[in-house]
């Protein structure tokens, strides 16, 4: 046998051994080597896919013999264009999953809407007598006066209960103007102002504390998803007190005003308390005066008396309305626009 024939024979024998080890996974002690070789091929193939490089025919052929890479093979076949049937099955499966998810969402929304309608219908049926009162001016007026008299008759206990309830009301970010007006009607101007201002201030401080401690992760995640809050944080970093005050007077919901400032570190507790006091006290003063004036007029009308128009109070209400709908959004927009520069 010549030297050339020997080299050819050795090369063929080497190829036979490699082929046997790779294509026959049960070949005794070569199993671990085979696993390592397959993992390297799979890793190399994934790297080629991620870098959008074409796969070699050898890599694709080697992967076809693996039992644990069916999903990868389907993707490779689709990319190579060699198995349109599998690609259609994958696309059909994806569309089926999407349709199932959409159907589940529709079913959940339908169940929720049906439940709400049933609850509203049931409550309306059970309390129809009370609801009809709102459509009768005389009965409605009488009901209000009776409720005011009942609350006012409890004295300091009623005022304390109202203040505690208002703390949690403010902490939840619910509208406060109607509640503060009702307090002025029930307790009079001075007690209504005291209960409303203390309740609103303590509620804001409670929300600020929760946002800085127990709910910091939740608030931070929600605020990071908002582009506007990123601008607010930038403004707070530059001028903490001025930014906190502008945010308190902004048209943002009460919940955002409290919790957004809680995760801005430059806004300390003294700065926050000063900001909410400057913003909150004038409004508490206004709503308590409006409630007291409305209560006096209701009782005067019940007794058949008439009262002159309170020009000062009406003028303040007009100013507050213009400020809330025009001035406040304009100042907030100018502030945010300046931060975007």
Neighbour tally for 179: CB within 10 Å: 19
- Report the distance separating Cα 166 and Cα 209, nearest Å: 17
Q: How big, in percent rounded to 5, are the helix, strand and coil portions of the chain? A: 85, 0, 15
- Report the distance separating Cα 187 and Cα 195, nearest Å: 9
Confidence of residue 53 (pLDDT cuts 50, 70, 90): low
- Report the distance separating Cα 305 and Cα 70, nearest Å: 88
pLDDT at position 23 over 50: no
Asked if 63 and 76 count as a contact pair (C-beta separation under 8 A), the reply is yes
Confidence of residue 271 (pLDDT cuts 50, 70, 90): very high
Chain segment 26-49, per-residue pLDDT in tens? 334 344 444 444 455 445 554 554
- Report the distance separating Cα 128 and Cα 164, nearest Å: 30
Q: What b-and-e string marks burial along 279-300, b requiring 16 or more CB atoms within 10 Å of the CB?
A: bbeebbbbbbbbbbbbbbebee
Mean pLDDT of all residues in the chain? 74
How is residue 313 written in tokens?
Answer: 């109070």
Cα 58 to chain center, whole Å?
51
User: In this structure, what DSSP letter does residue 56 have?
Assistant: P
Confidence of residue 191 (pLDDT cuts 50, 70, 90): very high
Nearest alpha carbon to residue 200 among 248, 130, 262: 248
Chain segment 202-256, per-residue pLDDT in tens? 999 999 999 999 888 888 887 777 778 888 888 888 889 988 999 899 888 888 8
The top-scoring range by mean pLDDT among 77-81, 150-154, 332-336 is 332-336
- The angle that helices 328-340 and 240-249 make with each other, rounded to 10 degrees, is 140
Structure-model confidence comparison of residues 136 and 253, the more confident one: 253
Tokens 């709503």, located at residue:
287
Arithmetic mean of pLDDT, 49-76? 50
Neighbour tally for 241: CB within 10 Å: 17
- Containing 312, the helix (H) or strand (E) segment is helix 311-322
Asked if 72 and 46 count as a contact pair (C-beta separation under 8 A), the reply is yes
Helix (H, G, I), strand (E, B) or coil at 237: helix
Asked if 288 and 183 count as a contact pair (C-beta separation under 8 A), the reply is yes
Asked if 259 and 207 count as a contact pair (C-beta separation under 8 A), the reply is yes
The top-scoring range by mean pLDDT among 77-81, 84-88, 119-123, 138-142 is 119-123
Contacts for 289 with CB less than 8 Å, ≥ 6 apart: 184, 189, 313
Asked if 206 and 171 count as a contact pair (C-beta separation under 8 A), the reply is yes
Around 143, how many Cα atoms within 13 Å sit in the side-chain half-sphere?
Answer: 12
């Amino acid at each position: 046998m010549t030297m050339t024939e020997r080299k050819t024979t050795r090369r063929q024998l080497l190829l036979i051994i490699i082929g046997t080890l790779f294509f026959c996974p049960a070949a005794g002690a070569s199993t671990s080597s085979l696993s390592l070789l397959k993992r390297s091929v799979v890793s190399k193939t994934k790297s080629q896919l991620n870098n959008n490089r074409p796969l070699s025919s050898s890599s694709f052929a080697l992967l076809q013999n693996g039992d644990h890479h069916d999903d990868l093979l389907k993707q490779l076949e689709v990319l190579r264009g060699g198995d349109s049937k599998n690609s259609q099955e994958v696309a059909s499966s994806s569309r089926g999953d999407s349709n199932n998810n959409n159907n589940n969402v529709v079913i959940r929304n339908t169940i929720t809407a049906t439940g709400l309608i049933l609850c509203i219908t049931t409550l309306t049926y059970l309390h129809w007598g009370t609801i009809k009162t709102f459509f009768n001016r005389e009965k409605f007026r009488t009901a209000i006066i009776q409720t005011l008299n009942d609350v006012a008759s409890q004295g300091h206990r009623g005022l304390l209960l109202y203040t505690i309830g208002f703390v949690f009301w403010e902490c939840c970010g619910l509208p406060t103007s109607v509640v503060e007006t009702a307090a002025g009607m029930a307790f009079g101007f001075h007690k209504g102002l005291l209960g409303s201002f203390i309740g609103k201030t303590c509620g804001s401080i409670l929300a600020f504390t929760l946002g800085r401690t127990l709910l910091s992760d939740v608030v931070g995640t929600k605020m990071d998803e908002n582009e506007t809050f990123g601008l607010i944080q930038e403004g707070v970093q530059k001028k903490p007190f001025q930014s906190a005050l502008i945010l308190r007077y902004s048209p943002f919901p009460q919940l955002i005003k409290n919790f957004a400032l809680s995760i801005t570190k430059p806004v300390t507790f003294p700065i926050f308390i000063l900001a909410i006091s400057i913003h909150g006290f004038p409004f508490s003063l206004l709503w308590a005066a409006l409630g007291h004036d409305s209560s006096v007029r209701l009782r005067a009308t019940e007794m058949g008396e008439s009262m002159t128009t309170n020009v000062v109070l009406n003028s303040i209400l007009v100013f507050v309305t213009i400020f809330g709908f025009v001035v406040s959004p304009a100042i907030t927009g100018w502030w945010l626009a300046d931060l975007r520069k």
